[in-house]
Amino acid sequence: MKMKFCIEKTVAAGGRLGIISQAGLQGNVNLETPLCTLFTKGGSAPHLSIDMLRRVAGVPDIAVMNIGSLADHHESISDFGKGLAEFTAMKKHLIFSTLQDASAAVFPGKNDKSGVAVWGKGGKIKLDTTLYMKIQESFVPDWFQALSDGDTDKECGPKRLTKSVDRTLDFLDEVLEKKEKSEVLKNSSLIGVIEGGYKEWHRKRSATETASRPVDGFLIEGFEKGNSQKDLFSDPDFTKILLFTMQHLPIDKPRIMETVWSPLQVIKAFKCGVDIFSSAYPYTLAEKGFALVCDYNLPPRSQPARLELQNASPKKDESRELYIDLNSPRYFEDFSPLMNGCQCYTCSNFTCSYIHHLLNTKELLAYVLLMMHNFHQYFDFFQHLRQAIKEDKLDELHDSLSLQITPLDR
């Protein structure tokens, strides 16, 4: 069964409200877009056992598992014989197998014509398409991306970009050929990968060539080397090149970006036409001891958000974010939850003071609790995002979030 993407409504320059139907090997899952996937590390939600993940509301139906930390174990997974979803005890989720860890930087200069490097526990693993497809066969993913060389950024010149686009297309052809012959993978959805850095000519070639092949969706990468931790939108060229890329992709297939994005950045990317996002952002915040505290209600219901609105300074600095830093001594004696009114497990049980203490003493539970809260908030954001689009309130949501931006904790 082939997955289908239906657009219900278009917004702004390229934003789409849509439904992916017949997603997954069983063909029985519908996914509403824009959506975020469940970010995982080593086949598990970061810091969270399945038991704890069950206590988070609105967990996405589709989990992204990058190949890096799992590649070492593909023989075990192959012997196991029931695929990655069951191996990782994530049977309830569709599995989208990707190449790189969205939360991590990519080590440069390790890719060549024959293959791509990923990083496992034992160091670099060189993947050619034969090994890559062997691993995918052991995973039996619902979706998987084609092998790609996305190790490019704005600094890359035409020579590097040509290589990146060429290699990625060559990999795609090899992957397609092998997929055709594979009993195990023939029903999996294949995601083509778009490269081309910041150069229109290369983006166009990558997009049109990839779109001419039988792929089920597009993963757009090559703007930064993994998670560069900078706001791509701070460079106006990024929006331009992203929009340009989208114009050369067919509208009837979903577009995925694995970038680490805040809610505001997600809204911007959505407007450009991105449908599927990663949830690596809440993870990267939790790792720093940060908690997401935006109020997505229109108008905001929470007291702090209202206060921020009243006191909003006229100059909006987009590099500031919608989180609080629980490492800050100001939370030492704060017995309120991370966010008033938040229904998440963490806020229903624990205080800022306790989480500050856990961070201060480097206790594992700090990351468990922050992860649960941040996931809850981020997943909730996507609910509100879809709702806002349905109700023609996307700009309102964007403005409300912009006004809630708090000064960075230092």
Partner 1 sequence: MAAKAFKGNNALSMNILAECSTSKARASAMTLPHAIVDTPVFMPVGTQGTLKGLVPDQLRELNCKIMLGNTYHLGHRPGPELLEKAGGLHNFMKWDRALLTDSGGFQMVSLLELAEITEEGVQFKSPHDGSQMLLTPEKSIEIQNSIGADIIMQLDDVVHSSVSGPRLEEAMYRTIRWLDRCIKAHKRPTEQCLFPIVQGGLNSELRTKCAHELIKRDVGGYAIGGLSGGEEKSEFWRMVKISTDLLPRDKPRYLMGVGFAVDLVVCVALGCDMFDCVFPTRTARFGCALVKAGQLNLKNKMFAKDFQPIDSECECSTCKTYTRAFLHTLANTEPAACNIITVHNVAYQLKLMTSMRQSIIEDKFPDFVQTFFDDMFPKKDFPEWATDALASVNIHLR
- Of residues 223 through 262, those in contact with partner 1 by CB under 8 A are none
- Our finding on whether 92 is near partner 1 (CB under 8 A) is no
Q: What tokens does 320 get?
A: 């500031």
Q: How far is the CB of 174 from partner 1 (least distance, A)?
A: 27
Q: How far is the CB of 337 from partner 1 (least distance, A)?
A: 12
Is residue 36 marked as binding?
no
Please state, in angstroms and as integers, the Cα–Cα distance from residue 209 to each residue in 5, 17, 205, 215, 239, following that order. Answer: 20, 26, 6, 11, 22
Q: What is the DSSP string of 373-410?
A: HHHHHHHHHHHHHHHHHHTT-HHHHHHHHHHTPPPPP-
Q: Which stretch binds partner 1 (CB under 8 A): 273-281, 299-307, 315-323, 354-362?
A: 354-362
- Our finding on whether 353 is near partner 1 (CB under 8 A) is yes
Which one-letter amino acid corresponds to residue 205? R
Q: Which stretch binds partner 1 (CB under 8 A): 83-91, 104-112, 140-148, 379-387?
A: 83-91
Please state, in angstroms and as integers, the Cα–Cα distance from residue 162 to each residue in 145, 200, 206, 213, 276, following that order. Answer: 20, 12, 9, 19, 26
Binding partner 1 by CB under 8 A: which of 48, 67, 125, 193? 48
Please state, in angstroms and rounded to a whole number, the distance separating the CA atoms of residues 31 and 208: 26
- Of residues 325 through 344, those in contact with partner 1 by CB under 8 A are 332-333, 335
Binding mask 117-156 for partner 1 (x = CB under 8 A): ----x-----------------------------------
Please state, in angstroms and as integers, the Cα–Cα distance from residue 45 to each residue in 52, 78, 138, 263, 283, following that order. Answer: 9, 22, 20, 20, 9
Q: Which stretch binds partner 1 (CB under 8 A): 13-21, 64-72, 150-158, 247-255?
A: 64-72
- Our finding on whether 93 is near partner 1 (CB under 8 A) is no
Q: Which helix (H) or strand (E) holds 18?
A: strand 15-23
Cβ pair 17, 9 in contact under 8 A: yes
- Rounded to the nearest angstrom, the gap between the alpha carbon of residue 49 and the centroid of all alpha carbons in its chain is 20
Binding partner 1 by CB under 8 A: which of 363, 391, 392, 395? 363
- Could you list the beta-strand ranges (E) of 24-79: 29-33, 35-36, 38-39, 62-66
Q: How far is the CB of 340 from partner 1 (least distance, A)?
A: 18
Binding stretches for partner 1 (CB under 8 A): 41-52, 55, 69-70, 72-73, 75-76, 79-80, 87-89, 121, 332-333, 335, 345, 349-351, 353-354, 357-358, 360-361, 363-365, 367-369
